[in-house]
A and B are shown apart, each in its own frame.
Chain A
Amino acid sequence: MFLKHTTAEVADRKALTVNPAKTCQPVGAMYASLGIHGCLPHSHGSQGCCAYHRSSLTRHYKEPVMAGTSSFTEGSSVFGGQGNLVQALNNMFTVYKPDVVAVHSTCLSETIGDDLGQIVKKAIDEGKVPEGKTVVYASTPSYIGSHVTGFANMCAGMAKQLAEVPAEDAAPLDQVNILPGWVEPSDMREIKRIMKTMGVPFVMYPDTSDVLDAPMTGHHEFYPKGGATIEEIKSSGLSKATLALGAWGSEAAAQELWKKCRVPYETLDLPIGIKATDRFLSKLSEITGTPVPESLTAERGRALDMITDMQNYLYGKRVALWGDPDQLLALSEFLADIDMKPVYIVSGTPGKKFMKKMEGILGDVVPEAKFKNGERADMFLMHQWIKEEGVDLLMGNSYGKYISRDDDIPFVRMGFPIYDRVGHSYFPTVGYMGAIRILEKMLGVIMDKQDRDAPEEKFELVM
C-alpha cells in the first residue's frame, strides 16, 4: 500500500507537513455559522475556498451546505475585495433571503488587508443589509491556527457583535450560556437534553442540530429549523454565567461575553468520558443550585457498569489518537481512567497549553506517552511512531484508515472529518450516554479483531 512511504525512523522535518492532522480556519467558521438559525455563511475569498469547505462539510454530514463566496478575481486581489463583499451581501439578502449572513475571511483577503468590520459597516450604511437582518463576521486567516481556531473566532464574533450589554443595575437573567465547542450535531442535541434534564434554563450557540442532521422531508430547506436564534445569542449577554466547553473551541467567545457584558465564565473540558462529564454537571449544579437529577446519575452508573463488565478487554490497550485538542484532552483522560494507554497523540492545531495539559493527564499514568501539537504534528509522524512500536487501537478522523489498513489496527472513527462512515451525526460522544457509545465502538472493533484472529479452538461464543 502507498504508506510504504512511511519509514520507522523519525527524521526531523523542518519545512513541511505530510498528511496533516488539521485543516484551515475558514471551514471551522463555516461550521460555526451553520449553528445560527437562518444563516447563510459567506466566504470572503476565492471561489475554491467556499467550494472546498462546502464539499468537506457535505462529505462529513451528508447534508446540503449552502454558502456564498465573494468570488475574488485578479482585480479584487489587487484593489481589495470591498466591492465584491458589498455586492455579495446585497445579492444574498435579495435573492436567498437569509436572516443572517456570517462572513469569514480567508488567507487571500487577510493578506491583502481587507477589514471585514469596515466593509460590513459600509454595506449597512449603504442600505445593502435590509432592516431586521443581521451580519456577523470573523477574521479567519488560514495561516494562523487551524480549523478549530476558525470555529472559535466565529463564535467569538457572534458573542462580541451580537450579545446585548445589560443595563447597569439589572439583575442577570436566570439562564446559563453553553458554548458547546466544535462537536457534532448529535452532541449539541445531547447537551441540550442534559440541560433540560437538569432543568436549567440556558442558551446555547452555535447549535447545528436540526441543521446538519435535518430530516428527509422531500423538501430542500435552505434554512432548516435548527440553529440558535439571533434573539438567543443577544440574550447571552444578560445571562448569569457562561460555561465554555473546550478551551480551543469556546474560550474566545466566553472571554468576549465577559469583556463586553461582564458575564462570568468557566472553561471546562468537553464533557467526554466520566470525569469530564462529572465536572460539567457539578459545575452546573454549583452555579445554579440545581442538584444533578437521579436520571443522570443512573446514566453514569450504566456507563460505569459497562466499563466494569468489559474491563478485561480494555486493560492495558495501547491507543493512538489524533484530531483536535479539546477532544483529545478529554478523551485521553477518559481512556486513562478506564486503564487504557493513550500512547501517541497528535494534533495539528497549535496552542502551548496542549502539551502542559496532556502532561498533567498522562504524566503519571502513562509516562511512556508521546504527544505533539502544532507544526509538523501530522499523520506521517503518527505513523512513524506506530511503526516504531505498535498500538492496539486507533481513534480519530477518517485519515487514520490508511494506517489501520497498512498495519492491521482496529480503528474507531471520531472527530472531523469522517468521510467514510455514518453515525456521528446521530449518536453523541458527550455525556455519560456518549461514554457508552465510545465504549461500544471501541469494544466492537477490539473484539472483532480478537474473533477474526482467534484459532478455532479459542474462537468463543461467550466473550
Chain B
Amino acid sequence: MSAPILKDRNKQVFEKGKAAFDLQCDRKSVAGSVSQRACVFCGSRVVLYPIADALHLVHGSIGCASYTWDIRGSVSSGPELHRLCFSTDLREKDVVYGGEKKLAAAIRELVPKHSPKAVFVYSTCIVGVIGDDVDSVCKKAGQELGIPVIPVHSAGFAGTKKDGYKAACTALSKIVGTDDSGEVSPFSINILGEFNLAGEAWIIKEYYRRMGIEVVSILTGDGRIDDIRRSHRASLNLVQCSGSLTTMAEEMKDKYGIPYKRVSYFGMEDVSKALYEVADFFSEEDPMMKERAAEIVREEVSKYLPAMQECKTKLEGMKCAIYVGGAFKAFSLIRILRTLGVDVVLVGSQTGNRQDYEQLASMCDPGTVIVDDSNPMELSHYIVEKDVDLFIGGVKERPMAFKLGVGFCDHNHERKTALAGFEGTLNFANEVCASALSPVWRFAPRRKK
C-alpha cells in the first residue's frame, strides 16, 4: 500500500537516500489534514504558562481557557497561581457589543483578590475578529493597579504555533529589563526555553550552581516575574527548545548585548556540551570553571553510564519513530537513541524549519523518513511499513502507538519523570526499556512473532 499522503503534502515527506534532500516546511497546514499542530494561542500559552506568580487571563470563549487549565506539568517551587483557570467566558452579547468592559472588570476583580506580580491577557480568535482594543484596556488597568498588565496577541488564526511563541516573547520583553537593583554575579546566565516539566529546570540549575554560576532567570520554568525583570543583567543566555524563545534571545542580544548559545539538556553528550560551553565562555575570568564542569560530567556520567549500558544491551537493534513539536529536540533524541543502539527510522516535527530538517537529514541513516507537520494516517503507515518498535511523541500520538502494539515514551507536556540532565537521560532510557520491552506486546496480534 502506498503512503496515504495528501497531494499537497507530497513535498513535506522525504525519504533519505531516494533523492537529493528536498523538504518543504514552514507552510500552513493543508485544510482537511488531521494535523497534530495547534494554534497561535497554544504557542503563547505554553511558553508563558509556567510563570507561577502571574495571573493568566484568557480573553475569549470558555474553551481556550478550559483546555489549557493545568495541563502542563511545569512545576513551581512556590506560588501556583498559574494552575488556576481564569476566563472572561465571552457570551453572545459580548460578541455583539464587544468584550472590553468585561475584560476590564475581570482584571479589576482578580488583581486585588490574588495579588499577582503581573497579568497576562491572552486574546483569542474571537477577540481578534470582534476587534476589542485589548492594548488600551491592559494599559489602563496596569496604570490603575500598579502592576504590569500585558496583552498577548494570540488570535489562533493569525499564523502558526510559532507565531504564538513570538507573541509570548513580545509579552516577555515588556518585563525584561525593568529592574536594575541588587547585585548580579559576573558569572551569570539565563536559561531560555526550559519549562521545568517534572522539575527538569532544578536539575540543570544545580549543575550550574556547582560550576559557580548564578542562574538569574529561567524563561519560563518555575518562573517569577521579579527574576525576569532582572534577566537583562546576566552575562550569557542559553536557549533550549529551538522554536520558542530564540526571538527573545535575539532581542536581548540586540538590546542588552547578551550573547546566546543554543543548547540541549537531553542526552549525556548534549548536557555535557551545554556545561562545557558555558565554562568556555567564562574561561578567561575563571579558568578553573572548566575543571569544575569536567568534574561534574565525570561524576554524573560514571553514576549513570553503567545502567545506560544495561539498557543498551536490551534495546540494541530496535527501531524507533520520533514525532515532536520542535525539531531541535529531535537532534538530541537521535543522539541518545544511537547510544542506546536504537535505529531511528522516522523523524518529524510540527514546526521545524528548513535548516532543522537539513540537519536531521544529514544525521539520519539512509532509508529514514523525515516528515513535517504530519498526521496520524501518515505516521501509522510508516510505523507499520518500517516495523517500528518504539514511538516518541506527545499526547495525540500515544494511543495510536499503543493500538499498533508499539512502545511509547511521552517527551512532551505529559512526561511524568524528568528526562533532562544526566539522571534524566537514564530515566529516559529506563522509560523506553519499560515500554518497548513490555511483556504486554506479546499479546499484540499484529506483531506476534
With A64-B399, A218-B445, A222-B377 known as contacts, the answer to whether A48 contacts B40 (CB < 8 A) is: yes
A375 at the interface (CB under 8 A from B): yes
Q: Is the CB of A2 within 8 A of B81?
A: yes
B227 at the interface (CB under 8 A from A): no
Of A26, A54, A64, A77, the residue contacting B129 (CB under 8 A) is A77
CB distance from B94 to the nearest CB of A (A): 7
Q: Is the CB of A463 closer than 8 A to any CB of chain B?
A: no
**Chain B contacts for A221, CB-based, 8 A:** 403
* Cβ-defined contact, A42 with B32, below 8 A: yes
Do B85 and A18 touch (CB < 8 A)?
Answer: yes
* A15 touching B109 in the complex, CB below 8 Å, given contacts A143-B91, A146-B62: yes
Expressed in whole angstroms, the minimum distance between the Cβ of B112 and any Cβ of chain A is 10
- Which residues on B sit within 8 Å (CB–CB) of A332? none
Instruction: Please indicate the chain A residues that have their CB under 8 angstroms from the CB of B396 in the complex.
Output: 51, 54-55, 58, 64-65
**In the complex, what distance in Å separates the CA atom of A367 from the CA atom of B390?**
57
Chain A 87-111: CB-based contact to B (< 8 A → 1; otherwise 0): 1111110111000000000111001
**Partner pick for A96 among B34, B92, B155, B446, CB 8 A cutoff:** B34
Given A108-B129, A217-B403, A220-B403; A55-B395 close (CB under 8 Å)? yes
Query: Do B109 and A220 touch (CB < 8 A)?
Result: no
Of chain B, the residue at the smallest CB distance from A112 is B129
A5 close to B81 (CB less than 8 A)? yes
Contact B62 A68 (CB under 8 A): no
From the candidates B37, B400, B405, name the one contacting A218 in the complex (CB within 8 A).
B405
A51-B36 contact, Cβ under 8 Å, with A20-B85, A96-B377, A220-B400? yes
Q: For the complex, what is the distance from the CA of A284 to the CA of B383, rounded to whole Å? A: 48
Output the least CB separation between A342 and chain B (Å).
Answer: 24
Q: How far is the CA of A83 from the CA of B405 in the complex (A)?
A: 39
Which B-chain residue is minimally distant from A215 (CB atoms)? Answer: B403
- In the assembled complex, the Cα of A69 lies from the Cα of B160 at a distance in Å of 14
Contacts of A45 in B (CB 8 A): 125, 156-157
Does B110 interact with chain A (Cβ within 8 Å)? yes
Nearest chain-B residue to A51 (Cβ)? B38
State which residues 53-107 of B face A: CB under 8 Å: 57, 60-69, 71, 79-81, 83-92, 94-95, 101-103, 105-106
Closest to B60 in A: A107
Which single residue of chain B is at the shortest CB-CB distance from A74?
B158
How many chain A residues sit at the interface, stated as a range, is 35 or more
Task: Tally chain B residues at the interface, Cβ within 8 Å.
Answer: 86
Tell me the chain B residues, 13-67 only, with Cβ under 8 Å from chain A: 28-42, 57, 60-67
A184-224: contact bitstring with B at CB < 8 Å (1 yes, 0 no)?
Answer: 00000000000000000000000000000010111111100
User: Is B87 in contact with A49, judged by CB distance below 8 angstroms?
Assistant: no
Contact with A along B372-387 (1 / 0, CB 8 A): 0000110010010000
At the interface, yes or no: A273 with Cβ under 8 Å from chain B? no
Answer whether residue A287 sits at the interface, using C-beta atoms and an 8 A cutoff. no
Q: Which one of A11, A17, A399 lies within 8 Å of B87 (CB-CB)?
A: A17
Out of B125, B383, B395, which one reaches A107, CB within 8 Å? B125
Q: If A49-B39, A77-B157 touch, does A217 touch B445 (CB 8 Å cutoff)?
A: yes
The answer to whether A72 and B157 have CB atoms under 8 Å apart is yes
**Residues A95 and B6 in contact, CB atoms below 8 Å apart:** yes
Does A387 touch B at the CB level, under 8 Å? no
For residue B381, which residue of chain A has the nearest CB?
A220
**In the complex the two chains form, what is the Cα distance from A218 to B404 in whole Å?**
4
Which of B85, B129, B383, B405 lies in contact with A19, CB distance below 8 A?
A: B85
Q: Among A5, A83, A108, point to the contact of B114 (Cβ < 8 A).
A: A5
B42 touching A51, Cβ below 8 Å: yes
* Complex CA distance for A55 and B325, rounded to whole angstroms: 14
> Would A51 and B125 count as touching, CB distance under 8 A?
no
* A residues in contact with B94, CB < 8 Å: 143
Q: Closest residue to A88 on the B side, CB-wise?
A: B32
Most B Cβ at <10 Å: residue of A47, A56, A66, A111: A47
A146 to B62: give the CA distance in the assembly, Å.
8
The answer to whether A48 and B156 touch across the interface, beta carbons within 8 angstroms, is yes
The residue from B28, B80, B92 contacting A2, defined by CB atoms under 8 A apart? B80
Residue contact A218 to B395, C-beta cutoff 8 Å: no
Q: Is A236 an interface residue (CB 8 A)?
A: no
B366: Cβ under 8 A from any A Cβ: no
Say yes or no: B95 contacts A91, CB within 8 Å: no
Contacts A95-B5, A108-B129, A143-B90 given; does A47 touch B29 at CB 8 Å: yes
The answer, yes or no, to whether B126 is at the interface (CB within 8 Å) is: yes
Output the least CB separation between A262 and chain B (Å).
32
Q: Please, which residues of chain A bring their CB within 8 A of the CB of B129?
A: 77, 108, 111-112
In the bound complex, residues from chain B placing their C-beta under 8 Å from that of A92 are 32
Assess whether A15 is in contact with B106, with CB atoms less than 8 Å apart.
yes
A24/B61 contact (C-beta < 8 A), A68-B34, A141-B92 known: yes
Q: Is the CB of A24 within 8 A of B63?
A: yes
Looking across the interface, which residue of chain A has its beta carbon closest to that of B30? A91
Complex contacts, A53 vs chain B, CB 8 Å: 67
A66 and B158 alpha carbons, distance in the complex (Å): 24
A282 at the interface (CB under 8 A from B): no
> B447 at the A/B interface (Cβ < 8 Å)?
yes
Contact at B38–A52, with CB atoms within 8 Å?
A: yes
- Asked if A70 is an interface residue, CB under 8 A from chain B, the answer is yes
Residue A393 CB within 8 A of the other chain = no
Contact A111 B86 (CB under 8 A): no
A179 at the interface (CB under 8 A from B): no
30 A-B interface contacts by CB (under 8 A): A2-B83, A5-B81, A5-B84, A14-B109, A16-B57, A17-B87, A17-B89, A24-B63, A24-B66, A46-B40, A47-B37, A48-B64, A48-B156, A53-B67, A58-B396, A63-B399, A69-B29, A71-B31, A77-B157, A85-B31, A88-B32, A96-B4, A96-B377, A107-B61, A107-B90, A111-B126, A112-B129, A144-B92, A218-B405, A375-B91
Interface pairs A-B: 3 shortest CB-CB = A48-B39, A218-B446, A24-B63
Q: Given A68-B32, A348-B62, 16 more contacts at CB 8 Å?
A: A16-B86, A16-B109, A24-B62, A45-B156, A46-B40, A47-B35, A50-B35, A52-B42, A64-B376, A65-B396, A67-B34, A69-B35, A77-B128, A108-B157, A220-B383, A222-B377
Chain B residues within 8 Å of A, Cβ to Cβ? 4-8, 28-42, 57, 60-69, 71, 79-81, 83-92, 94-95, 101-103, 105-106, 109-110, 113-114, 125-126, 128-130, 155-160, 376-377, 380, 383, 395-396, 398-400, 402-405, 443-448
